[in-house]
Chains A and B, each alone.
Chain A
Amino acid sequence: MEKSKGKVTAATLLIAFGIIYGDIGTSPLYVLKAVIGERPITELLVYGGISCVFWTIVFQTTFKYIYLTLQADNKGEGGIFSLYALVRRYSKYLIFPTMIGASTLLADGIITPPISVASAVEGLSNIPALKSIPTVPIVILIISGLFFFQRFGTHKVGSAFGPAMLLWFGMLAVLGTFQIIEHPTILKAFSPIYAFRFLTEYTEGFLLLGAVFLATTGAEALYSDLGHCGKKNVRLTWVVVKVCLMLNYMGQAAWLMNQGEGALLHGQNPFFEIMPSWFLIFGIVIATMAAIIASQAMISGSYTLVNEAMNLNFWPRVAVRQPSEVKGQIYIPSVNIMLWVGCVLMVLYFRHSANMEAAYGLAITITMMVTTYLLSFFLIYRLRWNKVLVGLILILFASIEISFFIANAHKFPDGGYITIFISSFFIFLMYTIYSGRKISNRFTKFVDLGQHANRLSELSQDEQIPKLSTHLIYLTKANQRQEIEEKIIKSIFAKKPKRADVYWFLHIHRTSEPYTLTYNVTELIDDKVIKVNIHVGFRIQPRTELYFKKIVQELIANRELNLHIRPDGSTKYNNEPDFKFVVIEKFLSVENEFTLTEGVLLNTYFLIKKYSLSDERAFGLDKSDVLIEEYPLVYQPISKIELTREEAHPFSSHSNGSY
Chain B
Amino acid sequence: MDHTKYLYQYLLDSAETEVLVYLKNGQQIPTSIFGFFKNEREKKPFIHRWHFCNRNEDGLVQNDIFGNPIGMLIDQKEIAQIVFKYSNKSFQF
Contact = CB atoms under 8 A, between A and B. Distances in A.
A629 to B, nearest CB: 14
Interface of A: 92, 438, 441-448, 450-451, 480, 482-483, 486, 490, 493-495, 637
Contacts of A450: 12, 15
A441 B67 contact: no
B35 A486 contact: yes
B48 A451 contact: no
A493 B60 CA distance: 13
Contacts of A483: 12
A444 B49 CA distance: 10
Given A445-B35, A447-B34, A494 B67 contact: yes
Given A92-B42, A438-B40, A445-B36, A482 B12 contact: yes
A442 B12 contact: no
A443 B34 CA distance: 15
Contact of B67 (A438, A442, A443, A495): A495
A443 B36 CA distance: 9
A546 B67 CA distance: 35
A445 B42 contact: no
Contacts, number: 41
A442 B48 contact: yes
20 contacts: A92-B42, A438-B40, A442-B39, A442-B48, A444-B38, A445-B36, A445-B37, A445-B51, A446-B35, A446-B37, A447-B34, A447-B35, A448-B11, A448-B17, A451-B15, A482-B13, A483-B12, A486-B35, A486-B51, A637-B73
A493 B12 CA distance: 21
Contacts of A494: 67
Q: Which 8 A-B pairs have the closest CB atoms?
A: A92-B42, A482-B12, A445-B35, A494-B67, A447-B35, A486-B35, A438-B40, A446-B36
A270 B82 CA distance: 78
Given A92-B42, A490-B67, A495-B67, A442 B15 contact: no
A388 B37 CA distance: 42
Interface of B: 11-13, 15, 17, 34-40, 42, 48, 51, 67, 73
B42 A441 contact: no
A442 B40 contact: yes
Given A92-B42, A451-B17, A490-B67, A443 B35 contact: no
A142 to B, nearest CB: 46
A444 B37 CA distance: 6
A486 B63 CA distance: 13
B38 A446 contact: yes
A494 B34 CA distance: 16
Nearest to A481: B12
Contacts of A446: 35-38
Contacts of A92: 42
A451 B16 CA distance: 9
A446 B35 CA distance: 5
Given A92-B42, A438-B40, A448-B11, 20 more contacts: A441-B40, A442-B37, A442-B40, A442-B48, A443-B37, A444-B37, A444-B38, A445-B35, A445-B36, A445-B51, A446-B36, A446-B38, A448-B12, A450-B15, A482-B13, A486-B35, A486-B51, A490-B67, A494-B67, A637-B73
Contacts of A495: 67
Contacts of A438: 40
A486 B71 CA distance: 14
Tell me which of A445, A450, A482 has the highest count of chain B C-beta atoms within 10 A of its own C-beta. A445
A480 B12 contact: yes
A92 B44 CA distance: 12
A225 B23 CA distance: 56
